[in-house]
Amino acid sequence: MALVITLMKQILKKEIENLHAIIRSNIKKVRTQKKETQLNIGLAIGHASASFYAKAETGFKNKKFSLDHLYKIAKVLDVDICEFFQGIDTKSSEKIAKCNLKINGIEVIPWNNDFNLGIPEIDQQHYKLVEIINQLAMNFICNKNIDLLTIFDELIAYTQYHFYAEEKIWNQYFSNDMNDRAHKDEHKAFIHTLKSLIKNQEGKNIEQVAENTLDFLIPWLLEHTLEADRYMAYMVFAIQEGKNSVEAQEIAQKKIHSMTKVIKRIYKILSKNSLQLMHQVALQQKTEQKIHIQEQFLKTLIRTIPDPIWVKDPNGVYITCNPRFEQLYGATEEHIIGKNDYDFVQKHVADLFREQDKKAATTLSSLTLEEWNTFADGHKEFLEITKAPLVDDQNNIIGVLGVARNITHHKLVKQKLQQAAYYDQLTNLPNRLFLYEKLEQMVVQTKQQKSHMAIIYIDLDGFKEINDTHGHATGDQLLIAFSKRLKKLLKQEDIFARLGGDEFIIILEHICDLSHIESILDRFLLTTESPFLINELYLTITASLGVTFYPQKEEILSYEQLLRQSDQAMYHAKQLGKNCYKIFTHEMTE
């Protein structure tokens, strides 16, 4: 292919030099004339020839002058039209050279030298017409945005040149023949039909234009080259051998037999099949190009997305990852591929990752989880991780895709909202809402586990007087100090909540021996009555405690009932003189 292009360039260069000579000759000829009109025409042909040269050299990018326009100007000035077209390729050549070699190897009209007529000039033109139509077909297939008018303009111009050459032969050998006029009429009819066809293609899609145009051109070209021009050639050879016109016609008719029709029919079928094959190859190329673009898009998307993305094979070995994931492990993709999590994190963490991957692979469903992750540079991010199975067309697992989204900000905002909703802003203890939800859950769990829990209602004695005497700021500091002091006596699983004001609730879970509760309550009282140092003041308060237990012999309908019982017990402690505790009995409700 490269060799063919090189040879074509050499031919083109030679013909361009011929064109330069014609330009200089025409301009010199016209400048000797005195008439302004002739000078204008001469400059026009000089300008047009120069433009034509530019088109030949640059692939007809300059559209100022069409080939049909050049043909008409050349005819007015009596310039040999052959000089303009010899060796000049169509605009499509440059584009066709870029087509895939698969398409270049397919021709809608396959041609070889066995079909030459023996008239070198006509054979060369036939070859050129075949080449133009083959290239036109490839242009339709290879190029979406092609300039149809320019291509058709070139086709018409070259066909006119070919007819011009044929008519010269007719004039030379058959000037008085009755078929001469019919021959020229056929040429005019073809040009008229082709122009009409082209005009009717405006607004139609490329595929429809290609089908309509080639359906007309291919049968005509086969008819023209295999029969009409071959008939003319046989007659020319007979005349050259000394035969008269009538004898020449008889000889030509004998040589044009039914085999020509068979060949034409075969070529029509072959051309149609070749065009279909070209469409299939072009479609395959477009599909491959589309897949390539999609792959590049996906690759670019994965590399630029701000979330860590990775893929592992079924054995947990990394196949690929993006730059964001590289930051997580502090290694490049090149060093990550082929390794597993055990090469980067501690064994218990890698075990967890492996278990998650297996779960996503075996269930063939996505797995979403949230967890804190420490990056290679030491900073932490709270990530929402989705692990999804990758399967082939037969639904066989081929890997696991992981995508992690940084939701640290979302997590912190959620924590702040949760803190505001469920925790007391002053003491940072759980509030009433948190207590109610938790106590409701604990009632169910305690019953299921067949254990016991204690609900202790606390009301501070003497707090109102301190608050009124020293102000609310001091009272608030006292509440904070009290909550910190009492919290130190509790286990992590115990619940310590503030209901509001100076009222608190403590819930002790998993009480094995109810007799030990009294020592715990005594410790609460002693801790509370020890003086608090607030703003250089020693302030003393006590506490009244009401206690109830769950489960009880009697049925408890709700957690609110337990809170009422502990509240009633605390009220009795107040009545007994404060700074004491009272355990609930059902007599208190009477």
Provide the greatest CA pair distance for the chain: 152
Residue 547 phi, psi dihedral angles, 5° rounding: -125, 140
What pLDDT sits at residue 69? 44
176, 248 in Cβ contact below 8 A? no
What pLDDT sits at residue 176? 66
How distant, in Å, are the alpha carbons of 85, 222, 257, 398 from that of 261?
Answer: 31, 10, 8, 59
Which among 397, 327, 407 is positioned nearest to 370, based on CA atoms? 407
Which among 525, 426, 439 is positioned nearest to 485, based on CA atoms? 525
Report the DSSP beta bridge partners of residue 406: 383
Mean pLDDT of the chain: 76
| Other C-beta atoms lying within 10 Å of the C-beta of residue 118 | 11
Percent of the chain's residues with pLDDT above 90: 29
How distant, in Å, are the alpha carbons of 108, 152, 160, 377 from that of 111?
Answer: 10, 22, 22, 70
Q: Is 399 left (phi over 0), alpha (psi -120 to 50) or beta?
A: left
Report the DSSP beta bridge partners of residue 544: 459
194, 216 in Cβ contact below 8 A? yes
What pLDDT sits at residue 428? 92
| Of 160-169, 434-443, 576-585, minimum mean pLDDT range | 160-169
Sign of CA dihedral 306, 311, 312, 318: negative
483, 498 in Cβ contact below 8 A? yes
Angle formed by the axes of helices 2-31 and 36-58, nearest 10°: 170
Q: Is the pLDDT of residue 13 over 80?
A: no
What DSSP character marks residue 577? T
Output 148 or 419, whichever has higher pLDDT: 419
Q: Is the pLDDT of residue 542 over 80?
A: yes
The rounded distance, in Å, linking the Cα atoms of 567 and 33 is 127
What digits encode the pLDDT tens for the residues 350-397?
999 999 999 988 888 888 898 888 888 888 888 999 999 988 888 888
Which among 150, 233, 162, 226 is positioned nearest to 191, based on CA atoms? 162
What three-state secondary structure class fits 37? Answer: helix
* Cα angle, residue 208 at apex, residues 202 and 210 outer, rounded to 5°: 95
What three-state secondary structure class fits 459? Answer: strand
What pLDDT sits at residue 229? 81
Q: Is the pLDDT of residue 539 over 50?
A: yes
Residue 501: CB partners within 8 Å, gap ≥ 6? none
Output 295 or 366, whichever has higher pLDDT: 366
The rounded distance, in Å, linking the Cα atoms of 333 and 385 is 20
323, 303 in Cβ contact below 8 A? yes
Report the DSSP beta bridge partners of residue 404: 385
The rounded distance, in Å, linking the Cα atoms of 18 and 416 is 86
549, 454 in Cβ contact below 8 A? yes
What digits encode the pLDDT tens for the residues 192-205?
888 887 777 666 76
What digits encode the pLDDT tens for the residues 136-175?
776 666 654 556 667 677 778 888 888 888 888 878 887 7
What digits encode the pLDDT tens for the residues 82-122?
444 443 333 334 433 443 334 444 566 666 676 688 888 88
pTM for the model stands at 0.44
What pLDDT sits at residue 538? 93
Model confidence band, residue 45 (pLDDT cutoffs 50, 70, 90): very low
What digits encode the pLDDT tens for the residues 318-331?
998 999 999 989 99
Which among 577, 578, 572, 573 is positioned nearest to 590, based on CA atoms? 572
What pLDDT sits at residue 74? 44
Model confidence band, residue 509 (pLDDT cutoffs 50, 70, 90): confident
Q: Is the pLDDT of residue 77 over 60?
A: no
What pLDDT sits at residue 107? 62
